[in-house]
């Protein structure tokens, strides 16, 4: 028995001693357990898919020829409030890693702490700015370094047993993310994050960075003793050579890696849906996988998914024009938003099969889809009513001399209502009301009656107020449409400047003060539930065009699905509605907006159940006269 135990002990130690993942700088390849290794991976964000669908999508990725999956870790999801942590349900990243391992996929872990990913604030928690109003994220700011250390001490030990050197499938761990684009080039910060990450990974996984081959970004993002990679999309042979040559300028040897080979692109509201051609992608992929590059490639994205709740971010591309991301993160990826195999999937799989052995994994059928019969909803209450405020709003701050931001109110998203009285005398008719530094969109009311909309995105910051409204209460309901996720230090929300009104001749403007401030975070569904169960009697005011002149309204309806066999993926076709959010069975499935290009909201069957399904709509602007909710069996991006 002792000899058997000794044999098993020696076998265990020997096997684990051989588990190494490292760089061969002589032959320019990765070595896995001492043998040359090339990976073709795909990005899949666990927080953009229902957990019950994870394994199916991972299996499809493996069937597509991939041998690795690339995952971001969203700090703000797991640490939504200071000192609070969540690793359950859609945040159960350990379960995701276990499922990926079961599907014979290696794992490229990208813990950030900043990830971009078109997620609100790039994944950085909003409360950092609440706790430290002057924080400089992604720098050597002591407050930021302290919070990153606290977060990593909570997060990283969860991955120890999954590191390749410890018997798991995590082969690589990223340090920061496209840091060169941030332009700080903070060596102290980069070295701090490298050492902090290394403290948890040791030599059990390879540390790496990722940067764009633009300007000085690769040099700025390069971190000493950390393996460098590059990212780029469709390119011809000369462009591929150029991009990899830029990488060679900072790292002369080692395997070549494109860590984000873009299969599609992100899309903003009020612009055409982004697409990328499959043939062009396949041609670029073949160039990278062939001699002389024999590169390692990660498709970004291989499965895109959905920006649930208020998680969708925004961009300004450094040009000062704010653009909010749509709720769908389909990304024109090889796996569609429901997880179906697209023509792009098959074309890319064919190319991969010429370089890597395709696994004996069957290709699955598309998900079941259904266009359910329309349902009717009824108006429950207005946000501006006394009962709406009592159930959905925070305790009002009365008599504030400043316009407090979302962050100062310790509020992640949703809405903030700013109210005060207009001057009693106007010398101009109409007088010009100006809201400076609006973040991001505002509906303006006088005594609960709509008078106009303001928009950061469309650069509309003023509107006329008639003289007859002098002395009345003005109400500015500000919506957070998503924090900028790229190249921004911290995109604060609310009204960051002053609110003034022209009460006399040019250029005299009077600053409004003595504000009452109420938050509507919509973070706790129990608040909505309390409103639905209250004895509120609300009659929706009629209007010719369905516009909600008396304020945003909560609507409620029920979709009955008689049997489990009738459960299917579906889409809400909201073209007759205006702008807002949809809650299905207590879950916020995301924002909708009829300006497009996204005209349908995806509802995975896993969010539905046999029997009655609760549909709650927060509509800000316009409701159809018949108050119907229509469904579709396919997505609509207004591309006809």
Which of the two residues, 281 and 318, has the higher pLDDT score?
A: 281
Helix, strand, coil shares of the chain as percentages rounded to 5? 25, 30, 45
Choose the weakest-confidence range: 89-93, 237-241, 315-319.
315-319
Nearest-10 crossing angle of helices 54-63, 93-102: 40
CA distance 229 to 296: 10
pLDDT of 17 strictly over 80: no
Q: Please, where are the H alpha helices in 82-186?
A: 93-102, 127-131, 142-155
Which of the two residues, 467 and 46, has the higher pLDDT score?
A: 46
pLDDT of 494 strictly over 70: yes
pLDDT of 11 strictly over 70: no
In this structure, are residues 33 and 20 in contact, taking their beta carbons and an 8 Å threshold? yes
Burial readout 171-204 (b: 16 or more C-beta within 10 A, e: otherwise)? bbbbbbbbbbbbeeebeebbbbbbebbbebbeeb
CB-based contacts of 71, cutoff 8 Å, min separation 6: 43, 44, 45, 46, 93, 96, 97, 100, 107, 108, 109, 110
Choose the weakest-confidence range: 50-59, 317-326, 366-375, 481-490.
317-326
Which of the two residues, 17 and 607, has the higher pLDDT score?
A: 607
Confidence of residue 319 (pLDDT cuts 50, 70, 90): confident
pLDDT for res 12? 43
Burial (CB count <10 Å: 0-12, 13-18, 19+), residue 426: buried
pTM, full prediction: 0.95
The SS3 of residue 523 is: coil
pLDDT for res 507? 64
pLDDT for res 27? 97
Nearest-10 crossing angle of helices 278-289, 343-353: 20
Q: Using only the alpha carbons of the chain, give its radius of gyration.
A: 26
Q: What percentage of the chain has pLDDT greater than the value 90? A: 91
Q: Please, where are the H alpha helices in 489-533?
A: 525-533
What phi and psi values does residue 560 have, to the nearest 5 degrees?
Answer: -95, 125
pLDDT for res 159? 98
CA distance 230 to 209: 8
Confidence of residue 25 (pLDDT cuts 50, 70, 90): very high
Read off the pLDDT of residues 93-112 as tens digits, 9 standing for 90 and up.
999 999 999 999 999 999 99
Q: What is the mean pLDDT of residues 312-325?
A: 90
pLDDT of 401 strictly over 80: yes
pLDDT for res 364? 85
In this structure, are residues 605 and 535 in contact, taking their beta carbons and an 8 Å threshold? no
Give the per-residue SS3 of 303-370: ECCECCCCCECEECCCCCCCEEECCECCCCCCECCCCCECHHHHHHHHHHHCCCCCCCCCCCCCCCEC
| Catalytically active residues, by annotation | 178, 260
pLDDT for res 317? 76
| Domain annotation for the chain: domains and CATH numbers | 16-353 (3.20.20.80), 375-379+524-632 (2.60.120.260), 394-520 (2.60.120.260)
pLDDT of 241 strictly over 80: yes
Which of the two residues, 429 and 243, has the higher pLDDT score?
A: 243
Q: What is the mean pLDDT of residues 114-127?
A: 98
In order of 316, 440, 482, 521, the CA distances from 406 in angstroms are: 20, 11, 12, 9
CB-CB neighbours of 410 under 10 Å: 17
Confidence of residue 135 (pLDDT cuts 50, 70, 90): very high
Sheet bearing 441-446, strands edge to edge: 397-400, 515-520, 415-421, 473-479, 441-446, 449-455
CA distance 210 to 222: 8
User: Phi-psi region for residue 437, left (φ > 0), alpha (ψ -120 to 50) or beta?
Assistant: left
pLDDT of 343 strictly over 70: yes
The C-alpha angle 456, 459, 463, rounded to 5 degrees, equals: 95
Confidence of residue 376 (pLDDT cuts 50, 70, 90): very high
Nearest Cα residue to 554 out of 573, 574, 536: 536
Per DSSP, 447 falls in state T
Mean pLDDT across the chain, nearest whole number? 95
The SS3 of residue 389 is: helix
CB-based contacts of 584, cutoff 8 Å, min separation 6: 603, 607, 608, 613, 614, 615, 616
Burial (CB count <10 Å: 0-12, 13-18, 19+), residue 317: exposed
Side-chain half-sphere exposure of 322, counting CA atoms within 13 A:
22
pLDDT of 415 strictly over 50: yes
Read off the pLDDT of residues 206-217 as tens digits, 9 standing for 90 and up.
999 999 999 999
pLDDT for res 535? 85
CB-CB neighbours of 100 under 10 Å: 25
CA distance 490 to 472: 35
Confidence of residue 506 (pLDDT cuts 50, 70, 90): low
Q: Taken in order 505, 500, 478, 488, is the CA torsion positive or negative?
A: positive
The SS3 of residue 587 is: strand
Can you count the helices (H) and strands (E) in the chain? 13, 33
In this structure, are residues 38 and 356 in contact, taking their beta carbons and an 8 Å threshold? yes
Read off the pLDDT of residues 522-549 as tens digits, 9 standing for 90 and up.
999 999 999 999 988 899 988 878 899 9
Q: What is the mean pLDDT of residues 402-408?
A: 97
Q: What is the mean pLDDT of residues 220-238?
A: 98
Give the per-residue SS3 of 3-20: HHHHHHHHHHHHHHHCCC
Q: What is the mean pLDDT of residues 499-519?
A: 87
pLDDT for res 3? 40
pLDDT for res 9? 41
pLDDT for res 488? 84
pLDDT of 1 strictly over 50: no
DSSP of 391-406: HHSPPPEEEESS---T
Read off the pLDDT of residues 156-177 as tens digits, 9 standing for 90 and up.
999 999 999 999 999 999 999 9
pLDDT for res 10? 37
CB-based contacts of 257, cutoff 8 Å, min separation 6: 208, 229, 230, 295, 296, 297, 298
pLDDT of 558 strictly over 60: yes
């Amino acid at each position: 028995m002792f000899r058997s135990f000794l044999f098993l002990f020696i076998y265990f130690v020997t096997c684990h001693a051989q588990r190494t993942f490292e760089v061969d700088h002589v032959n320019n390849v990765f070595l896995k357990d001492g043998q040359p290794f090339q990976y073709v991976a795909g990005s899949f964000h666990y927080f953009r898919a229902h957990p019950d669908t994870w394994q199916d999508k991972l299996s499809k990725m493996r069937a597509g020829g991939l041998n690795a999956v690339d995952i971001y870790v969203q700090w703000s999801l797991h640490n939504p409030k200071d000192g609070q942590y969540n690793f359950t349900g859609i945040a159960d990243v350990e379960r995701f890693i276990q499922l990926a391992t079961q599907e014979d996929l290696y794992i490229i872990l990208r813990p950030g702490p900043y990830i971009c990913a078109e997620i609100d604030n790039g994944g950085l928690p909003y409360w950092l700015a609440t706790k430290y109003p002057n924080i400089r994220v992604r720098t050597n700011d002591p407050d930021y370094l302290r919070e990153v250390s606290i977060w990593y001490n909570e997060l990283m030990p969860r991955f120890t047993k999954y590191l390749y050197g410890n018997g798991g499938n995590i082969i690589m761990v990223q340090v920061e993310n496209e840091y060169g684009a941030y332009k700080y080039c903070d060596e102290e910060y980069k070295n701090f994050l490298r050492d902090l990450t290394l403290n948890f990974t040791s030599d059990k996984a390879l540390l790496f960075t990722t940067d764009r081959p633009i300007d000085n970004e690769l040099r700025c993002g390069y971190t000493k003793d950390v393996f460098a990679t590059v990212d780029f999309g469709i390119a011809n042979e000369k462009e591929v050579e150029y991009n990899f040559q830029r990488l060679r300028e900072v790292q002369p040897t080692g395997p070549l890696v494109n860590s984000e080979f873009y299969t599609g692109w992100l899309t903003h509201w009020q612009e055409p849906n982004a697409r990328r051609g499959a043939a062009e992608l396949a041609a670029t992929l073949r160039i990278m996988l062939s001699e002389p590059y024999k590169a390692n490639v990660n498709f970004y994205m291989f499965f895109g998914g959905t920006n649930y709740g208020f998680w969708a971010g925004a961009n300004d591309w450094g040009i000062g024009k704010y653009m909010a991301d749509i709720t769908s993160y389909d990304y024109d990826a090889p796996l569609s938003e429901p997880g179906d195999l697209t023509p792009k999937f098959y074309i890319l799989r064919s190319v991969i099969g010429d370089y890597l052995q395709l696994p004996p994994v069957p290709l699955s059928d598309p998900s079941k889809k259904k266009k359910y019969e329309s349902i009717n909803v009824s108006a429950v209450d207005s946000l501006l009513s006394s009962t709406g405020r009592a159930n959905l709003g925070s305790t009002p701050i009365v008599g504030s001399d400043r316009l407090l931001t979302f962050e100062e109110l310790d509020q992640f998203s949703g809405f903030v209502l700013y109210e005060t009285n207009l001057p009693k005398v106007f010398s101009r008719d109409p007088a010009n009301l100006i809201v400076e530094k609006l973040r991001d969109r505002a509906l303006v009311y006088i005594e609960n009656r709509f008078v106009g909309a303001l928009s950061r995105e469309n650069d509309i910051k003023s509107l006329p107020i008639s003289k007859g409204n002098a002395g009345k209460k003005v109400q500015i309901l500000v919506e957070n449409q998503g924090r900028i996720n790229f190249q921004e230090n911290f995109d604060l929300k609310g009204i960051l400047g002053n609110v003034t009104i022209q009460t006399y001749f040019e250029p005299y403007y009077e600053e409004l003060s003595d504000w009452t401030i109420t938050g509507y975070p919509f973070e706790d569904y129990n608040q909505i539930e309390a409103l639905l169960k209250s004895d509120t009697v609300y009659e929706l005011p009629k209007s010719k065009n369905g516009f909600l002149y008396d304020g945003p309204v909560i609507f409620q309806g029920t979709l009955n699905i008689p049997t489990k066999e009738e459960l299917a993926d579906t889409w809400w076709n909201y073209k007759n509605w205006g702008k807002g959010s949809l809650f299905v069975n207590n879950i916020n499935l995301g924002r909708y907006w009829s300006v497009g290009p996204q005209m349908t909201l995806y509802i995975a069957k896993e969010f539905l159940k046999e029997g009655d399904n609760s549909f709650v709509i927060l509509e800000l602007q316009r409701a159809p006269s018949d108050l119907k909710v229509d469904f579709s069996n396919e997505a609509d991006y207004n591309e006809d």
